[in-house]
């Protein structure tokens, strides 16, 4: 590498970290000083071979995507998200110095940051199911001078050999369930940070082990490529219009004709507004889980996702085009959380609906939003219990039965500041 390249790499790296710090501040999060120092130290460009420096240091982009068919199966994750997830882990453990940790999903960059953070008395092991990825990660780690990261090729659905326990497991691939191996490989009060799909929406949860259960301490909004191997779980999609999809995640019995639902989008829409004035840092990812747990009792809860072109053409105007809460009634009435309505840097929440009972569906959704705000914007807490747990031993909340676990979402009144 020439000195000119080194200079520009370093200044681009510092600009990337400045942007991550500003992004954290905008979300009401704190970028821990040691995480910031690690981000300023590790040369990300050594983990993105062949990419221009500007792309290697884009704070918001996942890069080096490996695609199979229409699906991305691997990437080097976006730096802002890696920083948020490491922050979740460090907050839960009160710092990472001396921690023994396992990363699921390799790339090398995240493992190097963690290697910096755990220090000489800690250890980092990273596992990936894809031999091409572990080969590349090993080569990049060696090139960057990180010789003491253990790289393993295996399906992390199962216990990782040699069997041992970790203070921290960070999963960097989208999971639908928590395999028992992850819980069992944690120390007694160890922490699992995992992007987990519930109701078709992914959050990075920091979960602390307590016996045979895990309970969340924080959550962040995120998106990840899906887990492969024995833990893979297919999502169903209804393509209702050009670039507009409904995601069905929990093996729901929805058998609507997508063309019928799509045709409704061409008809005039009904709107309902909550009449609120909320500050920009309001965590709408929490509201969306609240809506899922409430609406699922009343109708089919689905998630709307839309291409940018579908939004710009005006077919749909969702709150978040990568995954917005929506409902599909038996008569095909379709409603979703709409784009926000801004006035003087504050916003109102609304719903748009199409179909025979559109006005009622939009009003129903907005009513749940109002209740969430009136209740003090409760935050979700995720409890992961073993599959055999009887109903009577579950916390009181919305239960999702997965393959290995019974997940329960409860809500607690909003704490001061984001955890
Ligand atoms: C987003 S990438 C990981 C990014 C990486 N941590 C980094 O530093 O940028 C997700 C990886 O998870 C891997 N993966 C998917 N299913 C897996 C499984 N069952 N066990 C282990 N790795 C898996 C994929 O091969 C892919 O490389």
The per-residue DSSP string of 166-222 comes to: EEEEEE-SBBSS--HHHHHTEEEEEEEEEEEEETTEEEEEEEEEETTEEEEEEEEE-
Question: Ligand 1 centre from 160 Cα, in Å?
Answer: 14
- Do 178 and 274 fall within a single domain? no
**Residue ID of nearest Cα to ligand 1 atom 1:** 75
Structure confidence at residue 4 (pLDDT):
44
Minimum-distance ligand 1 atom for the alpha carbon of 229: 19
Is-contact 176 196, C-beta < 8 A? yes
Q: Which tens digit of pLDDT belongs to each residue from 108-167? A: 999 999 999 999 999 999 999 999 999 999 999 999 999 999 999 999 999 999 999 999
- Do 240 and 346 fall within a single domain? yes
Cβ–Cβ contacts within 10 Å for residue 120, how many?
A: 8
Question: Cα(411)–Cα(390) distance, rounded to whole angstroms?
Answer: 21
- Do 283 and 355 fall within a single domain? yes
Q: Which domain holds residue 144?
A: 3-55+68-231
- Evaluate whether residue 63 is within a structural domain: no
- Evaluate whether residue 305 is within a structural domain: yes
CATH number at residue 126: 3.40.50.150
- Do 246 and 226 fall within a single domain? no
Minimum-distance ligand 1 atom for the alpha carbon of 103: 6
How many structural domains are present in the chain? Answer: 2
Tokens 């009887």 label which residue? Answer: 390
Q: Please state, in angstroms and as integers, the Cα–Cα distance from residue 250 to each residue in 80, 215, 227, following that order.
A: 29, 21, 16
- Evaluate whether residue 271 is within a structural domain: yes
Question: Cα(251)–Cα(106) distance, rounded to whole angstroms?
Answer: 29
Is-contact 207 168, C-beta < 8 A? no
Whether a cis peptide bond, with omega within 30° of 0, leads into 136 is: no
- Do 263 and 151 fall within a single domain? no
**Residue ID of nearest Cα to ligand 1 atom 12:** 105
**Does position 74 have pLDDT exceeding 60, yes or no?**
yes
- Do 199 and 281 fall within a single domain? no
**Residue ID of nearest Cα to ligand 1 atom 7:** 107
Question: Ligand 1 centre from 134 Cα, in Å?
Answer: 9
Strands 100-104 and 405-412: unpaired
Question: Ligand 1 centre from 173 Cα, in Å?
Answer: 5
- Do 240 and 323 fall within a single domain? yes
Ligand 1 interacting residues, C-beta cut-off 6 A:
73-77, 103-110, 127-130, 133, 155-157, 172-173, 224-225, 227-229, 231
pTM of the model: 0.94
- Do 227 and 257 fall within a single domain? no
Question: Ligand 1 centre from 226 Cα, in Å?
Answer: 9
Q: Which tens digit of pLDDT belongs to each residue from 313-335? A: 999 999 999 899 999 999 999 99
Q: Which tens digit of pLDDT belongs to each residue from 207-220? A: 999 999 999 999 99
């Amino acid at each position: 590498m020439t000195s000119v390249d080194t200079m520009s790499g370093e200044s681009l790296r510092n600009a990337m970290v400045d942007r991550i710090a500003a992004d954290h501040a905008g979300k009401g999060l704190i970028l821990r000083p040691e995480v910031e120092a690690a981000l300023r130290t590790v040369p990300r460009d050594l983990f993105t071979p062949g990419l221009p420096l500007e792309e290697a240091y884009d704070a918001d982009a996942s890069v080096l995507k490996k695609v199979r068919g229409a699906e991305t199966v691997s990437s080097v994750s976006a730096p802002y998200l890696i920083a948020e997830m490491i922050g979740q882990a460090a907050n839960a453990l009160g710092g990472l110095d001396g921690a023994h940790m396992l990363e699921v999903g390799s790339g090398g960059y995240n493992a190097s940051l963690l290697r910096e953070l755990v220090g000489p008395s800690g250890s980092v092991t990273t596992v990936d199911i894809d031999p091409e990825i572990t080969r590349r990660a090993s080569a990049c780690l060696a090139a960057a001078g990180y010789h003491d990261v253990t790289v393993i090729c295996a399906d992390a659905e199962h216990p990782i050999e040699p069997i041992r326990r970790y203070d921290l497991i960070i999963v960097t691939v989208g999971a639908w369930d928590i395999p028992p191996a992850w819980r069992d490989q944690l120390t007694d009060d160890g922490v699992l940070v995992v992007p987990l799909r519930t109701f078709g929406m992914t959050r990075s949860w920091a979960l602390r082990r307590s016996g045979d259960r895990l309970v969340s301490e924080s959550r962040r909004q995120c998106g990840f490529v899906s887990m492969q191997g024995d833990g893979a779980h297919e999502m169903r999609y209804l393509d209702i219009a050009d670039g507009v999809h409904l995601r069905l995640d929990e093996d729901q019995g929805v058998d609507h004709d997508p063309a019928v639902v799509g045709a409704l989008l061409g008809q005039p829409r009904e709107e309902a507004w909550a009449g609120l004035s909320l500050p920009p840092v309001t965590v709408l990812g929490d509201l969306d889980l609240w809506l899922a747990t409430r609406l699922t009792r009343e109708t089919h809860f689905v998630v709307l996702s839309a291409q940018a072109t579908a939004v710009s053409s005006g077919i749909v105007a969702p709150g978040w085009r990568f995954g917005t809460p929506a409902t599909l009634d038996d008569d095909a009435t379709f409603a979703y959380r709409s784009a926000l309505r801004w006035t003087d840097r504050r916003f109102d929440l609304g719903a748009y609906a199409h179909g025979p009972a559109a006005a009622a569906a939009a009003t129903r959704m907005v009513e749940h939003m109002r209740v969430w705000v009136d209740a003090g914007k409760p935050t979700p807490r995720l409890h992961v219990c073993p599959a055999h747990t009887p109903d009577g031993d579950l916390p009181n909340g919305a239960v999702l039965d997965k393959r290995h676990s019974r997940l329960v979402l409860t809500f607690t009144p909003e704490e001061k500041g984001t955890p």
